Structure 1
Amino acid sequence: MNNPSTPPQALQQVAGAAIISGPWPSYAAFRNLPERERWVLYGSAKAYREALELQGLVMSESYDQFVRRVTEELEL
């Protein structure tokens, strides 16, 4: 079932799996928070991605690209 807040262009169907191709949430606005809070946000971002994947969604952004992007945005 599609989330009504997910833009239709963000979902593709491939072999029965929904592929999310973005737009990705940005964490750059939080880079001025204390380091501990930025690590908590990083953990939350990973947990959210995992929850989506456990529901059968596939991200077009690889896990390595995701980690690189989020750590750069949070300056970790």
Structure 2
Amino acid sequence: MSRLPHISSAERGPASVIAGPWPTYSQFKSLPERDRWVLYGSAKAYRVALENQGLVMAEGYEAFIRRVCAELEI
């Protein structure tokens, strides 16, 4: 799994911390497996997009991956 290099919040400017977990994906667990994998990829991309905007998730990346996988049952 590839990750972007860590950039400190000082390099990006002030960081906003998003408490969570947010968003949740459990409502999608009844979808076909292929669709759940697509959502998994989208969830990771969305998190990266938020982080690239300077937002910091209170939930660590590994915990986020474990949670999304459990919620999507993949």
Asked if TM exceeds 0.5, the reply is yes
How many pairs align? 63
The answer to whether residue 42 in structure 2 is matched with residue 44 in structure 1 is yes
Which structure features the higher share of strand residues?
1
Structure 1's unaligned 5+ residue stretches are 1-13
Please give the alpha-carbon distance, in whole angstroms, between the structure 1 residues aligned to 2:20 and 2:26. Answer: 16
Which of 26, 42, 48 is the aligned partner of 1:28? Answer: 26
SS in 1 for 2:54: coil
Q: Is the 8 A contact 2:25 2:68 kept in 1?
A: yes
- Report the TM-score when normalising by structure 1: 0.76
Identity of aligned residues (%): 67
Residue correspondence of structure 1 range 1-76 to structure 2 within 5 A: 16-22=14-20, 24-76=22-74
Aligned-pair Cα RMSD in Å: 1.6
Please give the alpha-carbon distance, in whole angstroms, between the structure 2 residues aligned to 1:19 and 1:31. Answer: 27
Structure 2's unaligned 5+ residue stretches are 1-8
Q: CA deviation at 1:25?
A: 1.4
